[in-house]
Amino acid sequence: MKIDGTPFRSIWVDDTDRWSVRIIDQTKLPWSIDLARLTTMEGVAHAIKAMLVRGAPLIGASAAYGVALAMRADASDASLANAIAVLGATRPTAINLRWALARMQQALQPLSPAARTAAAYGEAAAICDEDVATNQAIGKHGLPLIAARAAGGRRVNVLTHCNAGWIATVDWGTALAPIYMAHDAGIDVHVWVEETRPRNQGASLTAWELGKHGVNHTVIADNAGGHMMQRGDVDLVIVGTDRVTRAGDVANKIGTYLKALAARDNGVPFWVALPSSTIDWTISDGLADIPIEERAASEVTTMTGRALDGSIATIRVVPKDSPAANPAFDVTPARLVSGLITERGLCDANEFALREMFRDIA
């Protein structure tokens, strides 16, 4: 998408040296646009773990380039195995990480070391290009959900949680793709942007993205989403996801489950946007089988933002001696999901529908 008129992707190969990997450091947004340069596999692993890059599809794309950087340094079998292991251990919930690493392994293992570097960069680039096309398709298939509610120029209010925008993918995003397309089609779409404690991906990233694209939005506290639904101010909810089971259970940013409960209680459609690379065909029961990342307590006990003097500051918001827990995701049972917006179309959140739509993959 564009940042102040300049087209960007969230990750790309440096166009000067043609081997280092460039990213937008998302820990610095929205306060500054820092383009970081990653030159080692370990640097990519840190970027994923510390959330300089985040979002399931972007985590997968970043890991793919991490393998390419590893091959550039040492294309041996041991180096390939080490890269897969190190990158695979960075974050446990988003299945796209495992999917991308398996794809890189499959592409590189059969090759001679001499052929691996070029092949790795080629496969990583293909993953990125496919992600862009996939997300455009998600946008196209999700657009009617918004357009159907825009009769007579009526404003359509969409609530989203966390950030599943272009910055969470290589481009376009998943949950935000239909919103961008609705906006570009002239529909009066407004987005309730939940701040998404504790990392505030909504307040810091979704608000920033939508603002840069000129999409009307209002940031709200996480706890306000249900209230907006009760008042009839939410026409539909669209969120992203990090892993969907073959039965349609959805892992997403912590707090998503509460939105789904409020949506069900208020008769608000609750849609989940995802590429098929986010489906984990090996599991059915999300609550039992999706690993939930536990992140540092400091993400709950402190907040970082711009101080009134313009400096970037981190403040403590919890007493020093109070422990904090920080589960980064929760699981929304399929029964609370109105439907899935995929690159192949809209799909019920159940095993039969998923297998019908993706019989060539399942």
Ligand X SMILES: CSC[C@H]1O[C@H](OP(=O)(O)O)[C@H](O)[C@@H]1O
Burial of 344 (0-12, 13-18, 19+ CB in 10 A): middle
Are the CB atoms for 10 and 170 separated by under 8 Å? yes
Instruction: Confirm or deny that 197 is annotated as ligand binding.
Output: no
The single residue among 117, 134, 169, 332 that binds ligand X, judged by CB under 6 A, is 169
Instruction: Confirm or deny that 56 is annotated as ligand binding.
Output: yes
Number of residues that bind ligand X (CB under 6 A): 16
Our finding on whether 162 is near ligand X (CB under 6 A) is yes
Task: Quote the least distance from Cβ 121 to ligand X, whole Å.
Answer: 24
Our finding on whether 213 is near ligand X (CB under 6 A) is no
Record the tokens describing residue 197, joined without a space: 């404690």
Our finding on whether 9 is near ligand X (CB under 6 A) is no
Region of 53-61, 72-80, 225-233, 309-317 interacting with ligand X (CB under 6 A): 53-61
CA distance 178 to 197: 24
**Closest to 244 measured CA to CA, from 56, 43, 45:** 56
Is the CB of 68 or the CB of 331 nearer to ligand X?
331
Selected catalytic residue, list 242, 249, 280, 330: 242
Task: Quote the least distance from Cβ 278 to ligand X, whole Å.
Answer: 7
Task: Quote the least distance from Cβ 148 to ligand X, whole Å.
Answer: 23
Task: Quote the least distance from Cβ 138 to ligand X, whole Å.
Answer: 10
Instruction: Confirm or deny that 55 is annotated as ligand binding.
Output: yes
Residues from 54 through 93 that contact ligand X (CB under 6 A): 54-57
242 carries an active-site annotation: yes
Is the CB of 157 or the CB of 278 nearer to ligand X?
278
Task: Quote the least distance from Cβ 328 to ligand X, whole Å.
Answer: 6
CA distance 66 to 44: 5
Task: Quote the least distance from Cβ 176 to ligand X, whole Å.
Answer: 9
Our finding on whether 238 is near ligand X (CB under 6 A) is no
The single residue among 103, 116, 253, 259 that binds ligand X, judged by CB under 6 A, is 253
Our finding on whether 242 is near ligand X (CB under 6 A) is yes
Instruction: Confirm or deny that 54 is annotated as ligand binding.
Output: yes
Residues from 269 through 288 that contact ligand X (CB under 6 A): none
Our finding on whether 343 is near ligand X (CB under 6 A) is no
Q: How far is CA 360 from CA 240, 312, 332, 336, 344, in A?
A: 23, 49, 26, 27, 12
CA distance 34 to 174: 23
The single residue among 201, 204, 206, 276 that binds ligand X, judged by CB under 6 A, is 201
Please state the residue numbers annotated as binding site for substrate.
Answer: 54-56, 91, 201, 252-253
> Which residues are marked as active site?
242
Per the annotation, binding residues are: 54-56, 91, 201, 252-253
Q: Which residues bind ligand X (CB under 6 A)?
A: 54-57, 162, 164, 168-169, 174, 201, 239-240, 242, 252-253, 328
